[in-house]
Amino acid sequence: MKLKLLPLALIAVTIFSCSSDDDSADDNNVDDPEKSEEQVTSCDKVENFVFVEKDGLVSVEFEDAAFTNNWKLKKDGNNISGKGYMVWEGDQYLGKPGEGLATYSIKINSPGTYRFLWKSAVKKGNNGADHNDSWLRFADAKDFFGEKDGSIVYPQDTGKTPNPKGASKDGWFKVYRSGGDLDFKWQASTSDNDSHPIFVTFDKAAVYTMEISARSAGHAIDKFVLFKDSVNQSDATADDVKSSEITCKN
């Protein structure tokens, strides 16, 4: 019996087609550990981000939230990280917190008291005492307060006293930076002319909500951290510190 030979071109096409199918199967292999890890941890909607505390530290790029139109993403300057910084360019809300609202979900694994700091700058005018603040609130935390040398202040309308000097309302602190240097620096205080560093107490492992809202036009924020006293401030705010892991809301 004489064997029938296939044309060489047909053989080549057949081999190429089989190879292509095999490659496609490899690309879609759900057992690949790196691809599975990416599918579990990736989150494509910023409003669903959850920032995970690890070893007593939360480190977040401020721009990683959903903002209203008058918050603008800018990239000028050298002393910034991430994709840039956010600056409020709308009206001033000196006595009205809650406008230009943005929220952050923070997963605390290690309960306790954390200090809050953000890196901010003044982008309007040339006076470090103007356009230097925004509103901040942790409404579902166990405690939210300013403390300096044993002196403690609480936001107004929380049922706790004493309250800070200057603006405060509905559990919000006015959080400001001071000094003549207008560029980005790590500083966050409350109580006018009596600056108190800011602290938050989380009494159990859970996901908490941090809220910020606009106050002064021209106040720019690049990044914020929360850290326990077991973490050195210099380590928490170092340029090379990694941002917190991001997971997704269910």
What mean pLDDT is reported for the chain?
87
**For the segment 21-61, what is each residue's pLDDT rounded down to a tens digit?**
333 333 333 333 333 333 345 788 999 999 999 999 999 99
What's the rounded Cα separation, in Å, for the pair 81 and 61?
7
- In order of 84, 123, 150, 220, 245, the CA distances from 136 in angstroms are 20, 19, 22, 14, 22
20 has pLDDT over 70: no
pLDDT tens digits for range 176-211: 999 999 999 999 999 999 999 999 999 999 999 999
**pLDDT recorded at residue 43:** 87
The confidence band for 97, taking pLDDT boundaries of 50, 70 and 90, is very high
Query: Which CATH number is 44-248 given?
Result: 2.60.120.260
pTM of the predicted model over 0.75: yes
Provide the pLDDT for residue 11: 36
Task: Please write the tens of the pLDDT for every residue from 132-158.
Answer: 999 999 999 999 999 999 999 999 999
Given CA atoms 231, 234, 240, 245 in this order, what sign does their dihedral have?
Answer: positive
Partner residues linked to 133 by β-bridges: 176
